[in-house]
Structure 1
Amino acid sequence: MTRFLYKLSNRNFKNIITAVFVSLFSAAVFAQTEDRAWNGKKCAVVLTYDDALNIHLDKVIPMLDSYQFKGTFYLIGSSPVVSNRIPEWRAAAKKGHELGNHTLIHPCDGNLPGREFVTSETDLSHYTVARAVNEIRITNTLLKAIDGKNERTFAYPCGDFTIKDTLYYNSLKSDFVAARGVTPGYLNKKEVDFSNVNSFFENGSSAEQMIAQVEEAEKKGSFIVFLFHGVGGEHPLNVDLQEHRKLLEYLKKRKKDIWVAPMVDVAKYIKQNYK
């Protein structure tokens, strides 16, 4: 009887030890998974470039290619840099860069301060929602003719969301995977607003400043979307080409921990895994 109780007690002890071990192992695996919840990495970085500039084709895309990174380029449909260089944009798309929609003529609300550059033709406050939607869909048709793709993201010109208090993107949610806004922030994956994805606007930023933003995203287990215009010139809103290169060098060195991908891929990943 004593021997039987000893065996029973010993068996229970082993079961308890096994259960504890499995529990600890599962917790460790879960913690590791949570720590690397961005496609197996600690955080995600999205590099976006607005306004379809020559320098994007001449300097930025070759630089991204040299580091094996893919970016998102938000194109203005009516831009001569689009119409005159379609084969080059098509080649960029074939390499994996996203051609995003930045509307047909880049309308902004001319009633807001600092909008002296807005003309009567490009004043969003003069638009109807129907006009905005039609022009954006026309741009989607153009972009599909260039890259052959059905999925892409949108970027608000000047970060303006409304036409006479109406959120015009509400009529376009089925046309895009997501829309990039201009408000900075590090969000939990489950809190992302795909109608207004946060981004960090860069103008005159140093590599040190941009790297610090990436490190903060990693610390928070979040992601960061960079918003560039000129990179080495061609736009009043500009980041030095070498500072941009230093950022890419840092991202390349941290490739085991940082996922660099186009906006459309990161948005799809969040939707598929956390929504």
Structure 2
Amino acid sequence: MPINNITGMFEIRKSVFTLLFLLTGIPALAQDKGTWNNKQCAVVLTYDDALDIDLDNVIPALDSLKLKGTFYLIGSSPVINKRLGEWRTAAMHGHELGNHSLFHPCSGGPTRSWITPENDLSKYTVARAVNEIRQNNTLLKAIDGKNLRTFAFPCGDLTIGGENFYTALKPDFAGARGVSPGLQTATDVDLDNIKCYAINGQTADYMINLVKQAQQSHTLLVFLFHGVGGGHNLNVSLADHSKLIHYLKANEKEIWIAPMVDVATRISALQASKGSAK
């Protein structure tokens, strides 16, 4: 066979393989983008404990960029009582007021000397934990008027006497955030213990690199903040937090930045759809 014919056949085969690759690859890419509101990934900014710093530093910074976050509120926090009107305004601006329990009970132990006996989760009953969390939902509804929100486990503690207390609360929430790190596809997300990255002193470069990883892998990335520019012994600097949210804003055409309740609701619908299709 002449050389030019062999070359021509090779080019045809190459074109066929390229076309097949494109045809099989495009639906996968489209599916990934469709998962996260037609964007590459989802990023959720969460802030724990109902701190003054949330109202003084975080919400003004997010509002200036028209970004929305989730604020997990402890119902007994004096910052709720003192600044209730400001929390209501935050909710009106699109931020989620999430449930972080009424008294923030955590399981006590040798490394947790700061836990008082009355707030030691290991001394709770499941019924008490469930009732207090539901009472906090009532308080939050009185602030924002909403029925649907998400929960965050105080200290990441899931059980009382070996029993997962959140099991009884599943109908009350769109999902629950834990404290274990990880990037996850929508299919792999456990809505009863959503993974996140707790930030304490990490740089903007570290956080932005996590966002880039989520973009490349088409996954969910959740940040967990406490202090921002102070206000808590777990803290990130104002400058680093600012660099992160400015990166998110500059890339919002490719990143879905939304409150946890919106992302959890979408994941639940996608998981139900895939489950029914099996």
TM-score between both structures, scaled by the size of structure 2:
0.88
Matched, 1:212 2:209: yes
Aligned to 2:151: 154
SS at 1:49 equivalent = strand
2 CA distance for matches of 1:153 and 1:92?
A: 16
Aligned to 1:226: 223
Aligned to 2:58: 60
Give a deviation string over 1:64-112, Cα, whole Å, max 9, x none: 011110000000000110011111000000000000000000000012x
Aligned pairs, number: 255
Give a deviation string over 1:43-62, Cα, whole Å, max 9, x none: 00000000000010011000
Range with greater deviation from structure 2 (31-40 or 99-108): 31-40
One-letter amino acid of the structure 1 residue matched with residue 141 of structure 2: K
Cα shift at 1:188:
2.0
2 CA distance for matches of 1:220 and 1:67?
A: 25
1 CA distance for matches of 2:120 and 2:32?
A: 45
Instruction: Let me know the Cα RMSD of the aligned residues.
Output: 1.7
Give a deviation string over 1:27-52, Cα, whole Å, max 9, x none: 46413413413101000000000000
User: Which aligned runs of 4 or more in structure 1 are off by greater than 3 angstroms?
Assistant: 22-29
One-letter amino acid of the structure 2 residue matched with residue 110 of structure 1: G
Residue in structure 2 matching 1:241, options 238, 243, 266: 238
Match runs of 1:191-206 below 5 Å: 191-206=188-203
1 CA distance for matches of 2:257 and 2:185?
A: 18
Matched, 1:31 2:28: yes
Matched, 1:49 2:47: yes
SS at 1:44 equivalent = strand
1 CA distance for matches of 2:150 and 2:75?
A: 14
2 CA distance for matches of 1:35 and 1:74?
A: 29
2 CA distance for matches of 1:24 and 1:186?
A: 27
Matched, 1:138 2:145: no
Is there any run of 5+ residues in structure 2 with no aligned partner, and where?
1-16, 273-278
Match runs of 1:259-274 below 5 Å: 259-274=256-271
Cα shift at 1:267:
0.5
SS at 1:190 equivalent = coil
SS at 1:227 equivalent = strand
Residue in structure 1 matching 2:77, options 76, 79, 84: 79
One-letter amino acid of the structure 1 residue matched with residue 42 of structure 2: A
Is there any run of 5+ residues in structure 1 with no aligned partner, and where?
1-19
Contact 2:186–2:270 (CA<8 Å) still a contact in 1?
no
Cα shift at 1:248:
0.6
One-letter amino acid of the structure 2 residue matched with residue 137 of structure 1: R
Aligned to 2:247: 250
Cα shift at 1:217:
1.4
Aligned to 2:95: 97
Aligned to 2:14: none
Largest Rg, 1 or 2: 1
1 CA distance for matches of 2:36 and 2:42?
A: 6
TM-score between both structures, scaled by the size of structure 1:
0.89
One-letter amino acid of the structure 1 residue matched with residue 181 of structure 2: P
